[in-house]
């Protein structure tokens, strides 16, 4: 499979070629198991397809856990209809960056895996427990990892997107689910109705919190449909990964409006919003009007338009980041994801959503939550990582403006000293995603210095 002493850059190229079909982690798991077997490293698997690989070449030194998500999924561009992830992704280097063709490539997770594999493959004396978690979008892998397989009291996670940064905390996460009932009407080949498929896509602002008014394709499409006279929804769907603003939303609708008037409305809306979102694309195509199920969906569109999006609150008390993430017209659900650092602010925002639901006659409740993480006071791990950092750019200590599996692990393992190393990923979660080559190289040196310091101090 591989030769000894490969670099992180080598592993990035190798891992990127492994099948990436949704919900299929078997080939990645096999790769990790084969990697361990070829190097005579012990490992453990579980029913959630997490893989833990152990390397003990540093005598009696206490082990350090290294964690990254290993089932990074990809999203395709609109021009990649026939593109399949069965052969991985096609990475190439352009200037100082790694990029992929027609898709994103889970850059942060890919780089984290590569750095851990480089360390396991190296001759550097280390005692590590390398944790590769599956089901990263729901964090089910992290939630269900058997902590009996982990003896470390220090853990380094790979996450985040900014070069030369060390995170000592993250935000809490909660998902608020809105349910609404919509009356259904069956229409059979109605000559007065014209059916269209409308898509809003192309946005590269993938990570919520990047702007105070984060753009969201679901809100844009809802606003546009409300401008079209006599429109009725046949289907309205958008879906995102956790903590990510949807960058594509699709809708099938009917209208009695003539083609010229419809085109004029869409064109005007496009030009108006193009000024603020230069990569915005809107596509509308006529469909054959066969049997349709039309929904009474106008209240839902108004609700979507009214939901606060992006950085809702950011002051001395804390932060609230809110993301309208999923809409399913068929099942009558709207999902709102909330990231927060302050419990009081969170309760205030939940009341706002409850009141908004009452306004439209909907029901809403928090259906899922995940804990934040915060490094221990006087953290030895943070101190050692700060002292061992070597890089061109000065190191910064920041808070992750996202949820992290680090919170799940800290919740499961008492007194766990934990920190997160960030790598430079621009346009994360979008099809313009790119990974800075030098960031991987410098982080590799950083880890080497960190573990050499462990060897000298044992």
pLDDT tens, 323-332?
888 999 888 9
Tell me what pLDDT residue 352 has. 96
CA distances from 3 to 122, 139, 443 (A): 11, 32, 22
Mean of per-residue pLDDT scores for the chain: 87
Residue 229 φ/ψ, nearest 5 degrees: -65, 145
**Tokens linked to 288:** 């054959």
CA–CA separation, 446 and 316 (whole Å): 33
Q: What is the mean pLDDT of residues 243-264?
A: 87
Rounded Cα distance between 334 and 342, Å, is 24
Which domains, from first to last, does the chain contain?
A: 8-170+373-457 (3.40.630.10), 174-370 (3.30.70.360)
Report whether pLDDT(223) > 70: yes
Give the least confident one: 156-160, 340-344, 401-405: 401-405
Q: What is the mean pLDDT of residues 317-344?
A: 89
Three-state secondary-structure class, residue 392: coil
Q: When comparing pLDDT for 312 and 350, which is higher? A: 350
Model pLDDT, residue 85: 63
pLDDT at 292: 81
Q: Residues 194, 195, 197, 200: is their CA dihedral positive or negative? A: positive
More confident residue, 242 or 154: 154
């Amino acid at each position: 499979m591989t030769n000894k002493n490969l670099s992180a850059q080598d592993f990035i190229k190798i891992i990127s070629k492994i099948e990436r079909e949704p919900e299929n982690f078997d080939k990645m798991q096999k790769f990790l198991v084969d990697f361990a077997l070829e190097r005579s490293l012990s490992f453990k698997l579980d029913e959630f397809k997490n893989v833990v690989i152990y390397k003990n070449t540093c005598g009696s030194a206490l082990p350090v856990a290294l964690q990254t998500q290993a089932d990074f999924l990809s999203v395709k561009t609109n021009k990649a209809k026939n593109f399949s992830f069965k052969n991985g992704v096609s990475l190439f280097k352009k200037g100082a960056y790694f990029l992929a063709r027609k898709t994103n490539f889970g850059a942060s997770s890919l780089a984290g895996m590569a750095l851990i594999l480089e360390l396991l493959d190296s001759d550097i004396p280390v005692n590590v427990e390398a944790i590769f978690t599956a089901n990263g979008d729901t964090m089910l892998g992290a939630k269900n990892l058997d902590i009996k397989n982990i003896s470390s009291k220090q853990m380094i996670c790979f996450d985040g997107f900014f070069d030369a940064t060390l995170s000592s905390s993250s935000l809490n996460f909660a998902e608020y689910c809105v349910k609404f009932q919509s009356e259904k009407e069956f229409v059979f080949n109605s000559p007065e109705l014209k059916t269209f498929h409308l898509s809003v896509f192309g946005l590269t602002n993938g990570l919520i919190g990047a702007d105070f008014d984060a753009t969201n394709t679901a809100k844009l499409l809802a606003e546009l449909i409300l401008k079209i006279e006599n429109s009725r929804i046949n289907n309205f769907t958008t879906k995102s990964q956790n903590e990510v603003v949807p960058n594509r939303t699709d809708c099938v609708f009917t209208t009695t409006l003539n083609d010229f008037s419809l085109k004029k409305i869409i064109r005007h809306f496009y030009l108006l919003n193009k000024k603020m979102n230069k990569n915005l694309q809107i596509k509308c195509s006529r469909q054959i009007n066969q049997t349709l199920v039309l929904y009474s969906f106008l209240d839902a569109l108004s609700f979507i338009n009214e939901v606060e999006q992006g950085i809702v609150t950011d002051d001395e008390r804390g932060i609230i980041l809110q993301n309208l993430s999923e809409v399913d017209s068929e099942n009558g659900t709207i999902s709102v994801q909330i990231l927060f650092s302050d419990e009081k602010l969170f309760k205030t925002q939940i009341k706002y959503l409850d009141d908004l639901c009452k306004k439209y006659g909907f029901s809403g409740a928090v259906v899922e939550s995940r804990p934040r993480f915060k490094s221990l006071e006087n953290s030895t791990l943070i101190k050692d990582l700060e002292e061992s950092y070597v890089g061109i750019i000065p190191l910064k200590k920041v808070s992750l403006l996202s949820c992290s599996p680090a919170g799940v692990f800290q919740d499961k393992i008492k007194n766990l000293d934990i920190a997160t190393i960030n790598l430079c990923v621009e346009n994360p979660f979008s099809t313009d995603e790119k990974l800075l080559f030098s960031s991987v190289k410098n982080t590799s040196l950083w880890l080497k210095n960190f573990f050499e310091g462990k060897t000298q101090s044992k």
